[in-house]
């Protein structure tokens, strides 16, 4: 096994994604400028670009190049960003900081933040449609649109946020917490991997394997997020640490303790890696999976 | 020319759309129930179903049946409804009544209204993707996704809402008012007609003609909306009459007077009908176009 430099891989892929995002987002002086400034403010604030990287890594696992999936990779980042902008609103989680800077509505006001989120979600689907120019069979694009919509809507991310909001300050059973995490976070991470494989030309067996692995990886990611919220410093996280507990939000450490939470996350990743290896889909994915649980921010 | 019963036509098409919407929206007891109740509350509140009817009429103008475009017709109604829910929020226009009942956030709270809007926009694109099963060439679906995203995003509806909000209480020139109306309302009406023709198998010439006609018709519709806001009673409109003036919103009657506004709307419709006839695309469209300016609510 040759030594794989994960840091270099992530840095390179992130640079590709950042360049594509800068190109695909309307410029700040395209009318009406305010909303385009608001969109770029949050998208270009950085972040791990985990979803785009999973799209790319999924495509690479079946032998396709990053360029083939780049519009869709960017679309997943736009959907993630829209969800953060709306979640941060005073009517929702009421957060002042995100990725180390003021949240969108603190800079642009609530109305513009709502509209910027709406516009990012809308643009995301346009980018997926434009990915049709890069694949042979346009039916695949329709499948990708449907899969992303499922993962982002009330079968996925929105469902998780709804139950999260409705659970605040309440004692909830572990099943409800798992429901929140698998829907709010894991569904979109799973879809990211899956649509990468789909656009890269993966067959039904590859799609089934990647779906299961994506689900486990997504849950692990969110458990680690919970752990970092307890342990991390605000500066590392770029958002307010301890915020979940303060808000009476259910978390894995609160329900199971830190030790058991770490074990759960680690088990999820092992399961994901075993599944990927079994389907012959390893590539860079096991290393990425281990990074997901090993990360410190 | 045989007598065409427009009322019967509209009633039948509306019933088809209402049945499809009821079938395509997740049921109220699908978890998480709150957001599905909120989505259905606003979508099933009635309304003219103008956008779905334009999709259907566009398809019929090139010889296709309503069933071929129904998922996309419903998608346009979901996008329209999401925009109303978000526009009514306290952070935006702060409206209490819509279509004769309390606005979404007054019943479900701001957080749920934001999420219900997000979910409707997301579901809309899923429905368009599912329309792939009803057409031969999936590339057409990708074009439809892109066209709808353009019309709904910062090249269309969102742009109109941004400039509308930024113009409140200000004296604006006629060009800015036209910008607001063509983007906030006309863009999505134009796209409705256009994607109907596209999905129905219309050629490039038909698409060009329908695009121009849709644009004129869309502007006429919004001018009539402005006129009705001045003239109409709240009961007919199902929303608060005189609200635009009270909010210091720019309108056609405020800028040009009632008489000139009526003439402008009528000119737009004549232009639309002439364009449709010139392209051999008449069908039910001229009657629908006349209804758009003749309506009283």
Query: What would the pLDDT profile of A142-158 be if each residue is shown by its tens digit?
Result: 999 999 999 999 999 99
Task: Spell out a b/e string for A47-63, using b for 16 or more CB atoms within 10 Å of the CB, else e.
Answer: bbbbbbbbbbbbbbbbe
Q: For residue A117, what is the nearest residue in chain B, using CA coordinates?
A: B118
Residue A252 has pLDDT above 90, yes or no: yes
Per-residue DSSP letter, A98:
E
Give the max Cα distance, chain A.
Answer: 53
What parts of chain B have a pLDDT lower than 70? 1-3, 233-243, 245-247
Using a CB cutoff of 8 Å and minimum separation of 24, what contacts does A33-37 make?
Answer: A34/A108, A34/A112, A34/B162, A34/B166, A35/A112, A35/A115, A35/A116, A35/A119, A35/B154, A35/B158, A35/B159, A35/B162, A36/B154, A37/A108
Given a contact cutoff of 8 angstroms between Cβ atoms, the answer to whether A71 and A96 are in contact is no
Min Cα distance A123 → chain B (Å) is: 6
Higher pLDDT, A294 or B223: B223
Do A119 and B143 lie within an 8 Å CB cutoff? no
A89: closest CA among A120, A66, A116, A110? A110
- Give A25-59 pLDDT, tens digit per residue: 999 999 999 999 999 999 999 889 999 999 999 99
Min Cα distance B190 → chain A (Å) is: 17
| Cβ-based contacts of A115 with chain B (< 8 Å) | 86, 158, 161-162, 165
- What is the structure's pLDDT at A195? 98
A101: β partners = A98
A240: closest CA among A223, A248, A253, A228? A228
Q: Which positions ≥6 away from B6 have C-beta within 8 Å?
A: B284, B287, B288, B291
- Give A53-79 pLDDT, tens digit per residue: 999 999 999 999 999 999 999 999 999
pLDDT band at A237 (very low <50, low <70, confident <90, very high): low
Residue A248 has pLDDT above 90, yes or no: no
For B28, how many CA atoms within 13 A lie in the half-sphere containing its CB?
A: 8
Q: For residue B28, what is the nearest residue in chain A, using CA coordinates?
A: A154
| Cβ-based contacts of A92 with chain B (< 8 Å) | 111, 114
Q: Residue A91: which of B114, B137, B158 has the nearest Cβ?
A: B114
| Cβ-based contacts of B161 with chain A (< 8 Å) | 115
| Cβ-based contacts of A117 with chain B (< 8 Å) | 118
Domain A6-294 sits in CATH at: 1.10.600.10
- What is the structure's pLDDT at A132? 98
Structure tokens at B294: 């003749």
Report the share of chain A in percent with pLDDT over 70: 94
ipTM, interface predicted TM-score of the complex: 0.95
Q: Which helix (H) or strand (E) holds B92?
A: none
Taking the C-alpha atoms of residue B47 and residue B192, their distance in angstroms, rounded to an integer, is 16
Interface-testing mutation among A149, A161, A163, with chain B (most B C-beta atoms within 10 A) = A149
Give the pairing type, strands B97-98 and A97-98. Answer: unpaired
Given a contact cutoff of 8 angstroms between Cβ atoms, the answer to whether A74 and A17 are in contact is yes
- What is the structure's pLDDT at B235? 47
Q: Which helix (H) or strand (E) holds A279?
A: none
Angle at A143 between CA A140 and CA A144, to 5 degrees: 85
Structure tokens at B138: 């999936």
- What is the structure's pLDDT at A1? 44
Given a contact cutoff of 8 angstroms between Cβ atoms, the answer to whether B166 and B183 are in contact is no
Classified as helix, coil or strand, B101 is strand
Q: Other CB atoms closer than 10 Å to residue B70's CB: what's the count?
A: 25
Do B86 and A118 lie within an 8 Å CB cutoff? yes
Taking the C-alpha atoms of residue B167 and residue B249, their distance in angstroms, rounded to an integer, is 7
Q: For residue A129, what is the nearest residue in chain B, using CA coordinates?
A: B142
Taking the C-alpha atoms of residue B271 and residue B206, their distance in angstroms, rounded to an integer, is 16
């Amino acid at each position: 096994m040759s030594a794989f430099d994960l840091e270099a891989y992530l840095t390179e892929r992130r640079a590709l994604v950042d360049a594509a995002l800068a190109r695909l987002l309307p410029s700040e002086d395209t009318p009406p400028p305010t909303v385009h400034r608001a969109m770029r403010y949050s998208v270009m604030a950085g972040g791990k670009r985990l979803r785009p990287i999973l799209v790319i890594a999924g495509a690479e696992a079946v032998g396709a190049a990053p360029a083939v999936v780049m519009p869709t990779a960017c679309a997943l980042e736009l959907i993630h960003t829209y969800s953060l902008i709306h979640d941060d609103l005073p009517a929702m989680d009421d957060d002042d900081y995100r990725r180390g800077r003021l949240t969108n509505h603190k800079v642009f006001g609530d109305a513009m933040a709502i509209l910027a989120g709406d516009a990012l979600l809308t643009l995301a689907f346009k980018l997926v449609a434009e990915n049709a120019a890069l694949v042979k069979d346009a039916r695949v694009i329709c499948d990708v649109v449907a899969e992303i919509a499922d993962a982002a809507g009330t079968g996925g991310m929105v469902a998780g946020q709804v139950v999260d909001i409705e659970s605040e300050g309440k004692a909830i059973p572990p099943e409800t917490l798992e429901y929140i995490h698998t829907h709010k976070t894991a569904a979109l991470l799973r879809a990211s991997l899956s649509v990468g494989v789909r656009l890269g030309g993966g067959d039904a067996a590859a799609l089934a394997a990647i779906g299961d692995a994506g689900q486990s990886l997504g849950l692990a990611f969110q458990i680690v997020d919970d752990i970092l919220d307890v342990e991390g410093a605000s500066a590392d996280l770029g958002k307010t640490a301890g915020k979940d507990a303060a808000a009476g939000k259910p978390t894995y450490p609160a329900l199971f303790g830190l030790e058991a939470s770490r074990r759960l996350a680690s088990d999820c990743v092992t399961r994901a890696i075993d599944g990927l290896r079994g389907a012959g889909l390893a590539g860079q994915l096991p290393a990425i999976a281990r990074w997901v649980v090993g990360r410190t921010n």
